[in-house]
Structure 1
Amino acid sequence: MSADGTSDRIDTLLATADAAIKADELQKAAEALREASHLDSENAKVKERWAALQKLDAGSDVFELLRNYITTQNEEGGQKALKLLKAKQLPSKDALQAVELLLDITKSLPLLDGLTGSLLSRNVEARKFVTSRFADNATETFELFFERGEESFNALATIPLDNAVWASTDQQTTAQKDLFRLCVATLIEAGADHLERIMRCIARLLSLVPAVVADIVDDEVLDSILSCLDLRMSASLRSQAILATSKVLEATKERGEELFSNFITERAAKQTNNDLIIAFSAAAAVFPIIPAVTAKLFLIDGFVQQLVPNLERNWEEGAAGKRKSHSLETSALELLSAACLDKACREAIERYCSHWLRNLTEEREGTHKALAALVLAKISADAGEEVTSKLEQLVLAADPEADQAIEGLAYTSLQPKIKEEIVSNSSVMKQLVKSLRERPPAVFGCLTVFANITAYLPSLSEEQKKMSQLKAYANSEQPTAEDPLDDDAHVTKRCRAVLDADIVPALVACSKQTASPTSLALVVRILLALAREQKHRSTMAQQGAVKLLLQIRDRLNKTDKSTAEASAIERNAAHALARILISINPSHVFSTTLPASSAVSALAPLLSQDNDTSQRNLLPVFESLLALTNLASLPDPSILDLQLRLVWSELEDHLLFSPNTLVQRASVELVCNLMASAACVGKFVGDGSKREGARMQILLALTDVEDMATRRAAGGALAMLTEWDAAVEKVLEQQSPDGVKAVLKMCGDTNEEVKHRGFACLANVVNAPDKIGERGVRLVKEKGGADAVKEALKATKNRDVMQIGVEMLKKIM
């Protein structure tokens, strides 16, 4: 490049660097200056820009940016400072100056909350400064950060939990207690704003340091937390309050349960609408957490019996056509719904409340109608079609109460007749799929409905059926007859309807929104059921089921897989994947972004013993073998090598000897496809292990089993193996079974495909080079090879076999 050209290029790079610095794209600026330095390392302008960039990158300009923003309130400068604070940790001196500056500001500025929170989240020195300030004056510091905003307060709330910024454990413990007390005091304070911010901090402290704050919890503290479960509160506050309640009951154990019982009974005893709403709301929320305690309160003599009369009185006292308290009835219905967790509570609700609930389902008010229908669905093991019809109407309305209606369908859809009714209503199916995509609160209910609709009855062995009958007789019961609407044909038809409703793309969408193991388990169960029918599999693959199943597995790998739930999800996901991969061309599904190796890794564990079941289910094993065999057909040697590493031991230790004909056949077919790998051939002729000779014996023996398909697969594997001279030599050496006789017996097989493979093996034996081939011809002659070939040719019409046979006779006659 000429001198002028170099100069022009440097000017261009400097302009690029200036623009990047102005836009706070410091990395881009550095890249431009790096190239400029390479062109002219002594250029004064380049050195000047480097100095400016390094100063800015070090953070020394942040203080000036902050001061200018506070003085001028120029938002562009403030945004620059905010971006820098979020991007990097400042030197200690700069961080200390910045936090002192920010905490001394008394006026309100739009970016002040974000600046404070970002500074504290990334800079230890700033956190230490706040630590000292909080230790000296906890109340003043708490109020400053709370009033400043959510980001500032969240940053403060983490400081007492940060071991690195405290000089002693005693100081840190005191700070944790102070923070908890200040949060509770703010919660109790009448008219306080941003309570969800406070409740989040309370829940965090109860979760992370329960031993420190549990002793502070008394009746007043618990009252303040439980009162936030009031259904009239915001959803965000209630969700944080439920978490805090769960943690406080976990931390305080029996004492907390006693305080909770006192809270409910005292509130209910006041009989005011406000206190009843709070009591009902809290009991409904806590029921799943401590069901035994809450059920005992629910079943106190007179409560359920008087609940409906009191609610009806509330209706009568209201103005014409309006209830005195709409929220009272809603809270009571939510309590009844939650109480259905307990059998005794369900029985009490059915006895004393069912008539009132049915009347409510006739009303036009959506919320109460939905909740009433939901409770009716829960209390009745055989909810009528009338209840289901009302639930379906509410689902189609797509109003907020549709979530309760979907939950109700999750109960009624356990019945075969209701399953049929739901799938026959295309509008309901369409709305359920739409809700699955678009309504996160309804996801679990939708998944449960679809899991119920697509569930096949378990396949029982004859022994299991007899045991089930014996148990029924032992309990003086008649064995339960299976409903014909739940037979395989009806379930498959329902699965087709679900698949046609575009359930797979909806499952892909909802899985991105939920990390709940329970929801993921339902997603996998649905996919496993849909994939049972071979005709469904290509559609599922086209709609993204393979990628979804592999993503679920990857997500599990990042979590604790030791739980029974996680183990079941992993196995079911792999089983569903196996079913799909049996019936599709893997080259149409896998790519560099979705490698086939990930599928091999997912399928391999299915071949090992499932420790979670007392009696091994061989279907996942069989279908995994078929899928692996299909994957082994890919023109990618790395896939074969990966399979050999992951599944070979299980194949030769167990599966090739399986007493189950289908499993043994699938195992031999997989070995046949793996034989395309030199590494697999090496296991028979080159690894030098003690098992090498035994492997050839096993393969030869498998060419003579009763099952034709297994013989065919073994013959195919042997034909590929004997293309290697060393393998021919191993065949000639075998005495038990006799290698040459085994090959000749294949040539005389009644099945044309097996016969063809036998002739291919024989051709490999007699056509081997040099001494190996000479020995092969001699042994074939000695063992009656000519007569065997002649007899085999008389019984075949296969031109390929005849052509090979004629060539063989020329050598062995």
Structure 2
Amino acid sequence: MATAPAAGSSPKQSELSREDQTLLIFAGLMEGGKEDDETVRDLDRMTKVLNDDIEAVKKGEKSICPLIDSDCADTLLGYLDMRQPDIVRGHATLTTSSYLRAAGEDGAQKLSAFFYDRVKRGTYDDYIVAFCVASSVFPIVPELTAEMFLNEGFLPSLGPLMRRKWKSRKVESACLDMLNVACMNAACREAVQKYCVEWLEEIVDQDPDDVVKDMFATNSDGNLGEGSISMRRHSRQVQNLAAVILAKIKKQGKVTELEKGDSGRVELATTSIEDLTKMFTNLLVKNPEQADQNAIEGLAYASLQPQIKEELADDSALLTSLVKALKDAPPRSPLTYGALSIFSNMTRYQPPLSEEQKRMGQLKAYANAAGKEGANISPLNDDEHVSARCKKIFAAGVTPVLVTHSKNGSQASLALIIGIIHSIAMTQSLRGQLAQQGAVRMLIDSWNALAAINTEGAATTGPESDKTRRQAAQALARILISTNPAHVFGGTRPVPVSAAIRPLTSLLKRDEESYDLLPAFESLMALTNLASTDDDTRSGILRAAWPDVEEQILSSNDRITRAAIELVCNLVQGPEGIALYADGSQKAANRLNIMVALADAEDEGTRIAAGGALASLLSFEGAVEAVIKRERGIKIILGLCSAEETEDLRHRGAVAIYSMASADGDVGKKARDAIRAENGIFILTECAKASRRAEVVEVVVHTLKLLLEEDK
């Protein structure tokens, strides 16, 4: 390595060239014996220099990377050793990432040379460093690390290393950490399954008592030789980590060619996913105060299996332990993400399918029945089973913990939290309690936070972020459908009703990637509930969503149309809503014509909703005039009063006709004449005879009185 400037005579760090800064920093990193905070500062300075170098090269300047020779690279990679303090390893990982990006192919070659050289040496120290480096850089350069990992002869060599008589816990931990990270890659996972399953299962199945018995059986004279008993058996931590790796490679639950014997018959695995689950469960239940990261991670993979989901949900002690582990876990930690993943797996509903997707699923099911690989959905993943699991998880007290973690968690954790609440909110009986436990504020705050991230154009935005926002809005809609707005938006720290409008109205814009109309339907229902509160809320909904609401009125789906009209029925209780239909303009007349037409729709629910809206609107002169001018307008409304209709329809129709008949001046006279001309007196008389509701009969009697008095 080139000589660095003398420390005593060198100018300030900021005044040095990039080349001199590089040499000076590496000289400091090679010294050793420093305090951790000094090492961290050097690593951070090196990270900045490398990041600056990337930008400088783009501008045509010379890179500093040729100055970083093999000794420098070895020094940097040495700080990834598990025996280094966690804070040093963390900062060294960032520096290594910057180096590999800046150095390109040369950096990749130095990394490979370092790894192969350390493995070739074969000492415990060299193995530890090599395995730790592979674990740390796998997420940074997965393709390069996978190539090193899959190098011929490497994986088969791990078995003899892990089966040595004298155990090195650090070597074993470093090796298993590396395998654990490598399992994120499909090719590496298959290789681990091929070469490592046997000795991994030996580690998991090891009985410490058997180790001692074997020692005495082999040495009947009592001379056990050198070394303690603990050096001859695998540690509990190593066993747990081996179990996690087995869970990852067994999570698919499929039989592969690798699991077949010479006869072609399937051989039963020594350790099943159920056995691993029991192992992880026992660890958590027996020591809830010291939640084991390996146990959490193992359950996160095991809980992808339908049968395991059911077993976990039926274990109330485990659910309590998981909730406590999540409560105590630091924000943005692997423990937090692992626990959230378990709850997410257990509560996730199957996505809605289009008709074409359903047909394809049936074809795959037929293929599976014929002995070919298919995509059958387990009955344990149907809505009934998922709902039951959601109830059990909710009963374990998970909601307040989720609300707390949503405030400081990562975007990935927030997505899991929202997904869990989204699933729990599917169960109507739990919605009120979700609101009481802070879910409404959390969903609104999360939706706004994700919207802000999207606005800033962060690198993490995209389809997944949009999906999370829609889930938050839909979960909010579900809760607000079934709860009293006065209760939800009251209390000592009230959330303004207006805060819920934007998330809800965002669901009215169709997601082109989904065939699911349920979010729009639930949004309309929730907005209808909010619109029953006050004029300010109704005005807010109209400003935020009227064009979208008006579009939903003309939906080809009857349930969507009905929900949109029910919302309009509440919106026209305020002056701004009334003006949209009764200000005398042509647009208002067109809107009213559509409402009258919907009062004659085939779907009874749509007719009831339209009749309710007309009953309110026809109290205003502009609306009455528009109905009189419309062809068949009076006839359609009288049709709601027919004796053959239901009480709800008769009631709405009777109120609408009364509103028209009681109008003042010329408009009122025209309306009464038009009602009589359509045989209204007879229809209303029959309506009164058929009705069993006093309020219907009362309205009809008042209307008939107006119509008959006009004839005198």
Shorter-normalised TM-score: what interval?
Answer: 0.7 to 0.9
What secondary structure is seen at the aligned counterpart in 2 of 1:229?
coil
Partner of 1:326: 169
Please tell me whether residue 410 in structure 1 is matched to residue 253 in structure 2.
no
Please tell me whether residue 201 in structure 1 is matched to residue 45 in structure 2.
yes
Partner of 1:704: 600
Instruction: Give how far 1:363 is off.
Output: 5.3
Residue by residue, what CA displacement relative to the aligned partner does 1:568-605 show, whole Å, maximum 9, x if unpaired?
11111111111111111111111474111111111111
Q: 1:808 to 1:408 in 2, by over 3 A?
A: same
| Distance in 2 between residues matched to 1:582 and 1:207, nearest whole Å | 51
Partner of 2:412: 518
Please tell me whether residue 438 in structure 1 is matched to residue 331 in structure 2.
no
Residue by residue, what CA displacement relative to the aligned partner does 1:712-731 show, whole Å, maximum 9, x if unpaired?
11111111111222222222
Instruction: Give how far 1:657 is off.
Output: 1.6
Q: 1:180 to 1:724 in 2, by over 3 A?
A: farther
| Distance in 2 between residues matched to 1:179 and 1:670, nearest whole Å | 67
Letter in 1 for 2:190: E
Please tell me whether residue 455 in structure 1 is matched to residue 345 in structure 2.
no
Please tell me whether residue 367 in structure 1 is matched to residue 230 in structure 2.
no
Which blocks of at least 5 consecutive residues in structure 1 are unaligned?
Answer: 1-136, 145-155, 161-170
| Distance in 1 between residues matched to 2:134 and 2:17, nearest whole Å | 32
Instruction: Give how far 1:511 is off.
Output: 1.9
Letter in 2 for 1:186: G
Residue by residue, what CA displacement relative to the aligned partner does 1:600-621 show, whole Å, maximum 9, x if unpaired?
111111110213x1x4310111
Partner of 1:229: 80
Residue by residue, what CA displacement relative to the aligned partner does 1:276-308 show, whole Å, maximum 9, x if unpaired?
111100101111222221111111111111111
Q: 1:696 to 1:142 in 2, by over 3 A?
A: farther
Instruction: Give how far 1:176 is off.
Output: 4.9
Please tell me whether residue 620 in structure 1 is matched to residue 527 in structure 2.
no
Structure 2 contact 607–649 (Cα < 8 Å) conserved: yes
Letter in 2 for 1:371: L
After TM superposition, the structure 1 = structure 2 runs for residues 169-188 of structure 1, keeping only pairs within 5 Å, are 174-188=16-30
Instruction: Give how far 1:207 is off.
Output: 4.3
Please tell me whether residue 605 in structure 1 is matched to residue 456 in structure 2.
no
Structure 1 contact 291–341 (Cα < 8 Å) conserved: no
Q: 1:281 to 1:594 in 2, by over 3 A?
A: same
Partner of 1:659: 556
Structure 2 contact 562–609 (Cα < 8 Å) conserved: yes
Residue by residue, what CA displacement relative to the aligned partner does 1:387-414 show, whole Å, maximum 9, x if unpaired?
1111112223247670111011110000
Instruction: Give how far 1:472 is off.
Output: 7.1
Partner of 1:808: 703
Instruction: Give how far 1:357 is off.
Output: 1.7
Report the more deviating stretch, 327-336 or 386-395. Answer: 386-395
Letter in 2 for 1:352: Y
Partner of 2:143: 292
Report the more deviating stretch, 328-337 or 770-779. Answer: 770-779
Partner of 2:627: 731
Q: 1:204 to 1:429 in 2, by over 3 A?
A: farther
Partner of 1:85: none
Q: Bigger radius of gyration, 1 or 2? A: 1
Residue by residue, what CA displacement relative to the aligned partner does 1:88-121 show, whole Å, maximum 9, x if unpaired?
xxxxxxxxxxxxxxxxxxxxxxxxxxxxxxxxxx
| Distance in 1 between residues matched to 2:291 and 2:437, nearest whole Å | 31
- TM-score by length of structure 2 reads 0.85
Partner of 2:265: none
Partner of 1:692: 588
After TM superposition, the structure 1 = structure 2 runs for residues 14-163 of structure 1, keeping only pairs within 5 Å, are 139=7, 160=14
What secondary structure is seen at the aligned counterpart in 2 of 1:723?
coil
Residue by residue, what CA displacement relative to the aligned partner does 1:334-382 show, whole Å, maximum 9, x if unpaired?
0110111122222222232222222222356331122111111111133
User: In structure 1, which of residues 678, 689, 698 is the aligned counterpart of residue 575 of structure 2?
Assistant: 678
| Distance in 2 between residues matched to 1:577 and 1:373, nearest whole Å | 39
Structure 2 contact 40–87 (Cα < 8 Å) conserved: yes
| Distance in 2 between residues matched to 1:582 and 1:721, nearest whole Å | 25
Instruction: Give how far 1:558 is off.
Output: 2.8
Structure 2 contact 365–376 (Cα < 8 Å) conserved: no
Instruction: Give how far 1:463 is off.
Output: 2.7
Partner of 2:474: 575
Instruction: Give how far 1:484 is off.
Output: 2.2
What secondary structure is seen at the aligned counterpart in 2 of 1:233?
coil
Partner of 2:216: none
Letter in 2 for 1:227: G
Report the more deviating stretch, 415-424 or 343-352. Answer: 343-352
Instruction: Give how far 1:564 is off.
Output: 1.6
Structure 1 contact 142–182 (Cα < 8 Å) conserved: no
Structure 1 contact 549–573 (Cα < 8 Å) conserved: yes
Instruction: Give how far 1:535 is off.
Output: 1.0
Partner of 2:387: 492
Structure 1 contact 715–757 (Cα < 8 Å) conserved: yes
Partner of 1:311: 162
Report the more deviating stretch, 347-356 or 447-456. Answer: 347-356
User: In structure 1, which of residues 349, 365, 368 is the aligned counterpart of residue 192 of structure 2?
Assistant: 349
Residue by residue, what CA displacement relative to the aligned partner does 1:498-524 show, whole Å, maximum 9, x if unpaired?
00111111111222332x221111111
User: In structure 1, which of residues 388, 391, 399 is the aligned counterpart of residue 280 of structure 2?
Assistant: 391
Structure 2 contact 361–375 (Cα < 8 Å) conserved: no
| Distance in 1 between residues matched to 2:100 and 2:593, nearest whole Å | 65
Partner of 1:189: 31
Partner of 1:528: 422
Letter in 2 for 1:185: A
| Distance in 2 between residues matched to 1:594 and 1:205, nearest whole Å | 47
Letter in 1 for 2:617: L
What secondary structure is seen at the aligned counterpart in 2 of 1:607?
coil
Instruction: Give how far 1:462 is off.
Output: 3.7
Letter in 1 for 2:184: L
| Distance in 2 between residues matched to 1:508 and 1:421, nearest whole Å | 26
Instruction: Give how far 1:209 is off.
Output: 5.2
Q: 1:377 to 1:466 in 2, by over 3 A?
A: same
Partner of 1:482: 377
| Distance in 1 between residues matched to 2:68 and 2:545, nearest whole Å | 56
Structure 1 contact 371–404 (Cα < 8 Å) conserved: yes
Please tell me whether residue 419 in structure 1 is matched to residue 345 in structure 2.
no
Q: 1:472 to 1:297 in 2, by over 3 A?
A: farther
Instruction: Give how far 1:230 is off.
Output: 0.9
| Distance in 1 between residues matched to 2:434 and 2:399, nearest whole Å | 7
Instruction: Give how far 1:474 is off.
Output: 8.6
| Distance in 1 between residues matched to 2:72 and 2:27, nearest whole Å | 9
Structure 2 contact 291–325 (Cα < 8 Å) conserved: no
| Distance in 2 between residues matched to 1:807 and 1:358, nearest whole Å | 85
After TM superposition, the structure 1 = structure 2 runs for residues 534-553 of structure 1, keeping only pairs within 5 Å, are 534-553=428-447
Structure 1 contact 416–485 (Cα < 8 Å) conserved: yes
| Distance in 1 between residues matched to 2:114 and 2:656, nearest whole Å | 84
Q: How many equivalent pairs are there? A: 635
Please tell me whether residue 740 in structure 1 is matched to residue 647 in structure 2.
no
After TM superposition, the structure 1 = structure 2 runs for residues 253-268 of structure 1, keeping only pairs within 5 Å, are 253-268=104-119
Identical pairs, percent: 37
| Distance in 2 between residues matched to 1:260 and 1:472, nearest whole Å | 47
Partner of 1:716: 612
Partner of 1:112: none
After TM superposition, the structure 1 = structure 2 runs for residues 260-279 of structure 1, keeping only pairs within 5 Å, are 260-279=111-130
| Distance in 1 between residues matched to 2:11 and 2:479, nearest whole Å | 59
| Distance in 1 between residues matched to 2:297 and 2:68, nearest whole Å | 35
Q: 1:252 to 1:721 in 2, by over 3 A?
A: farther
Normalized per residue, the structure richer in helix is: 1
Q: 1:437 to 1:218 in 2, by over 3 A?
A: farther
Letter in 1 for 2:203: L
Q: 1:231 to 1:684 in 2, by over 3 A?
A: same
